[in-house]
Amino acid sequence: MCLNKLFESLKLLGGKKDIDDSIDFLKPDLLIKHKKAGVKYTIRKVKIDKNTKKPFVICYRYISPNSKRKIYIRITEEEFNQYKPV
């Protein structure tokens, strides 16, 4: 997929292009769910790997329902099919 097309699609989902050619998601609405584990993550940023030129997603979840601590993960393009939108 062309990078410009990818960025335009992500902006339509609520993303904002950052100065480092990444897309930030400022709204906490964009959730994805791991298909097997059922764990939900909030997408924080979509970036392009400078070496491989492939996109990856930075997302997080809270440690527990009442916690303010977050766990961040990086999802590579090869792992995208393990997640679905919520």
Reported pTM: 0.72
For range 22-28, the mean pLDDT:
63
14 pLDDT more than 60: yes
Of the candidates 79, 81, 86, the one whose C-alpha atom is nearest the C-alpha of residue 61 is 86
The residue to which tokens 């979509």 are assigned: 46
How confident is the model over 28-41, as a mean pLDDT?
Answer: 88
Burial of 45 per CB tally in 10 Å (0-12, 13-18, 19+): buried
pLDDT tens-digit series, residues 38-80: 999 998 888 888 888 888 989 999 999 899 999 999 999 899 9
Residue 9 has pLDDT above 70, yes or no: no
